[in-house]
Structure 1
Amino acid sequence: MGSRSDLPGAATASTSSPRPPGHPSVLAHLVDVHCHPTDSPIPPDALAALPHRICAMASRQSDQALVRALATAHPATVVPCFGYHPWFAHWIALAPAPSKEAHYRALFPSPAPGAAAKPQQEDAFRRLLACLPEPILLSDVLADLRANLGAFPQAMLGEVGLDRACRIPFAPPAPPPYAEADGARELSPFTIPLEHQVAVLEAQLALAAELKRNVSMHSVKCQQATVELLQRMKVKHGESWLRISVDMHSCGLSAQTWADIERQHSNVFLSLSTVINARSTAHKALIATCSPNRILVESDFNDIRLSGPYTWDMLLTVAEVKGWRVEEVWDEGTAGNDAAQWGAVRRLEENWNAFVRGNHEPVKKKRDRKRLVLDESESEED
């Protein structure tokens, strides 16, 4: 989630000028697969003038309706994405609690009975409690998601995910547009228990599998938990899981972890953004490792005016690492069906189309070479 200083643990994204985008005929084939336009004021006619498509993310209760309205007004440009982000998972109760305090006390407990008292921790909890909203039931969250996803056949689940790094701020929830919040906020010592995040995420993913909706997923400082989650979903949902695609957005996984995921999950893609991934040179190793047909690009930005420039900037980086040419103008007949001759924009558009289609083939397990030799030997003896 780029340039969102009001959110827990969020860093301010680089605002250095991205490289200018390409020709309008080429931009018409560009897809920003992850952005947050409802987090900032949208200038009049900004969406109408947009030359490319965007996937607009929701992240909490107050912005689901904003994304819905944006997609209703601009159906040809906006793919709506409805979901509840891990930074706000503590606002969600898995089951009814006797009180607001009881709900948050269960997530951020005091020292165990018999343990040394920590007045500063209790003081911090009391201070934070005054800032926190009344929790909402997970069942209500899922009902809201079901209604929104049902209203838009092309809608995705997003932004959802896991995050070990975020700390909860000493501040009440900011009203939209969130990017207008006043500066950085003081952070509390509390983080959201991973097991609670997992429960909220798995419930949302189950709905996505049921409704056949693709997913935009966040993962920060929890590579192993993400690997384990994907494997559980593969086993639990079976063929329904393979019908949908999952995008690891602003992917910060190591190149080795991504290579392992790619080998085991035919339905998982990755997307990269300049504002997040370019902070580390490791993103180029990730691009190099990723199969050409699994990579996507995004802005992960809140200002809709920079969606195109930032997405284009990452496209140029991907093209540079992969050694792909970048189209100067669009020619429908160029290179025909010979994928080796396609430019970067067409390659990424084809990847997006595959992501949207879903219905992925199961990963074929490679037979152990020693076992194969033995099998052949036994066959010859028969």
Structure 2
Amino acid sequence: MSGVPLPDESVLQHVVDVHCHPTDAPSISPESMDKLQITICAMGSRTSDQVLVKKLAASYPKKVIPCFGYHPWFSHCITLQPGATKDEHYRRLFAVENFDEYQAIYNTLPQPVSIAEVISEVQANLEAFPNAMLGEVGLDRAFRIPYDYAAFPRELTSFTVPIDHQLAILEAQVDLAVKLRRNISLHSVKAQMNTTEFLNRMSQRHGRNWSKISIDLHSCGLSPQLWRDMEKKHNNVFLSLSTIINGRSSNHISLIQACSPNRILVESDFHDVDMCTQQTWDMLLTVARTNGWIVEEVWTSEVDPAKWGAVRRLEENWRQFRAGDHQAPELSKRKKKKVEEWISESNTDS
């Protein structure tokens, strides 16, 4: 599928790459950004790239939707114990037993920042850009700390970040997103049940305010059945897929089939902005082919939704995602009856 010719510019202007990492590239040339014909959601993931995302969005406000947040791969750089020294923080977090391995990476580990500092920074950035999202944030049970993050290929240590620590970092960021009513791009790897339980807990904690924002499970790797269950329970959760991640497995076809047509989005998850358009378009074609949708070659004013092509359908999904304010999931007949009985009893007592 890769390398399929791109459509007319009038069509590409309606395509959104809902998740990419352009600031991870060594540099982004003005020529590349000038040539970019789609809209991209540029993710932040660690301390060093928050300002890069901010600068990119300020320079290209019509093409870039900034996303600020801390990825689970960098959650070890955040401390929940203010005042702890660098050594105390990492020894406690990694439950160090292999001291030779720990000493080998100690100098590459940054001075940890407090969760309060992180939330203050993310809040300031989100408030500076009214269209900004929280991202990339999430959970990852497969990740191990590398000896050198910048090296290629990366050599990994045996150290992992405890899931409870990841959850605390994620929870603080999501609470902020709900407070500011900002949508979220969520990472989940080898953490299906943790993610499901987390979303359920956030829904219970925030109630109606939870339904006011949207959550995108990016490069979603859930099983089709688990996605169906999640989709029924959370009317504000969307699914986005990429060729670079999901294209490695045939599971993404059954996932597209399991997803409601109005809850799917597309992404590149790419760091090279010159490749974001092609990668996003390739996934769009996969979604279109799987769902039997036509694909627009040029843009026309089509008002009948029954005749919409894949680009217009996905653009509408993105509009709904950005708008938020979703209807809360309907109660089952049994739960609805209990609520009605409770209301009736309350009125009688009063």
- For 1:170, the equivalent position in structure 2 comes to 147
- What is the aligned counterpart of 1:266 among 235, 239, 264? 235
Paired with 1:143 and 1:33, the residues of 2 have a C-alpha distance of 25
State the number of aligned residues: 337
Deviation at 1:95, TM superposition (A): 2.1
- For 2:345, the equivalent position in structure 1 comes to none
- For 2:77, the equivalent position in structure 1 comes to 91
- For 1:177, the equivalent position in structure 2 comes to none
- What is the aligned counterpart of 2:171 among 202, 213, 216? 202
Q: Is 1:318 aligned to 2:303, yes or no?
A: no
Which SS does the other structure have where 2:283 is aligned?
A: helix
Counterpart contact for 1:97–1:103, Cα < 8 Å: no
Any idea what the Cα deviations from partners look like across 1:147-203, whole Å, max 9, x if unmatched? 1000000000000000000110112x54xxxxxxx4212100011100000000000
Give runs of aligned pairs for residues 300-315 of structure 1, distance below 5 A: 300-315=269-284
Counterpart contact for 2:218–2:239, Cα < 8 Å: yes
Paired with 2:69 and 2:284, the residues of 1 have a C-alpha distance of 26
Aligned partner of 1:79: which letter? I
Q: Is 1:150 aligned to 2:119, yes or no?
A: no
- What is the aligned counterpart of 1:183 among 127, 152, 174? 152
- For 1:76, the equivalent position in structure 2 comes to 62
Aligned partner of 1:32: which letter? D
Counterpart contact for 2:220–2:241, Cα < 8 Å: yes
Counterpart contact for 1:324–1:344, Cα < 8 Å: yes
Which SS does the other structure have where 2:170 is aligned?
A: helix
Q: Is 1:33 aligned to 2:18, yes or no?
A: yes
Q: Is 1:366 aligned to 2:332, yes or no?
A: yes
Deviation at 1:44, TM superposition (A): 2.8
Paired with 1:100 and 1:107, the residues of 2 have a C-alpha distance of 11
Paired with 1:31 and 1:170, the residues of 2 have a C-alpha distance of 35
Paired with 2:72 and 2:281, the residues of 1 have a C-alpha distance of 28
Counterpart contact for 1:128–1:170, Cα < 8 Å: yes
Which SS does the other structure have where 1:292 is aligned?
A: coil
Q: Once the two structures are aligned, what percentage of the paired residues are identical?
A: 55
Moved more, 85-94 or 95-104: 95-104
Deviation at 1:129, TM superposition (A): 1.9
Runs of 4+ in 1 over 6 A off after TM superposition: none
Aligned partner of 1:151: which letter? A
- For 2:41, the equivalent position in structure 1 comes to 55
Aligned partner of 2:108: which letter? C
Aligned partner of 1:283: which letter? H
Which SS does the other structure have where 2:143 is aligned?
A: coil
Paired with 1:320 and 1:98, the residues of 2 have a C-alpha distance of 54
Moved more, 44-53 or 132-141: 44-53
Paired with 2:182 and 2:83, the residues of 1 have a C-alpha distance of 31
Counterpart contact for 2:72–2:137, Cα < 8 Å: yes
Paired with 2:113 and 2:96, the residues of 1 have a C-alpha distance of 22
- What is the aligned counterpart of 1:355 among 316, 321, 335? 321
Counterpart contact for 2:19–2:43, Cα < 8 Å: yes
Counterpart contact for 2:2–2:282, Cα < 8 Å: no
- For 1:115, the equivalent position in structure 2 comes to none
- For 2:99, the equivalent position in structure 1 comes to 122
Moved more, 123-132 or 144-153: 123-132
TM-score, structure 2 normalization: 0.93
Aligned partner of 2:128: which letter? A
Counterpart contact for 2:19–2:268, Cα < 8 Å: yes
Paired with 1:253 and 1:204, the residues of 2 have a C-alpha distance of 22
Counterpart contact for 1:21–1:313, Cα < 8 Å: no
- For 1:339, the equivalent position in structure 2 comes to 305
- What is the aligned counterpart of 1:139 among 108, 116, 119? 116
Q: Is 1:42 aligned to 2:19, yes or no?
A: no
Paired with 1:204 and 1:232, the residues of 2 have a C-alpha distance of 14
Aligned partner of 1:261: which letter? M
Aligned partner of 1:197: which letter? Q
Counterpart contact for 1:71–1:78, Cα < 8 Å: yes
- Structure number having the greater helix percentage: 2
Paired with 2:183 and 2:138, the residues of 1 have a C-alpha distance of 13
Aligned partner of 1:157: which letter? L
Which SS does the other structure have where 1:45 is aligned?
A: helix
Aligned partner of 1:34: which letter? H
Counterpart contact for 2:262–2:313, Cα < 8 Å: yes
Paired with 1:290 and 1:186, the residues of 2 have a C-alpha distance of 37
Unaligned ranges ≥5, structure 2: 342-350
Paired with 2:242 and 2:293, the residues of 1 have a C-alpha distance of 18
Alpha-carbon RMSD: 1.6
Paired with 2:255 and 2:115, the residues of 1 have a C-alpha distance of 35
- For 2:4, the equivalent position in structure 1 comes to 19
Paired with 2:314 and 2:217, the residues of 1 have a C-alpha distance of 15
Counterpart contact for 2:23–2:52, Cα < 8 Å: yes
Moved more, 319-328 or 127-136: 127-136
Paired with 1:331 and 1:212, the residues of 2 have a C-alpha distance of 33
Q: Is 1:282 aligned to 2:248, yes or no?
A: no
Deviation at 1:368, TM superposition (A): 4.6
Counterpart contact for 1:20–1:313, Cα < 8 Å: no
Deviation at 1:130, TM superposition (A): 2.4
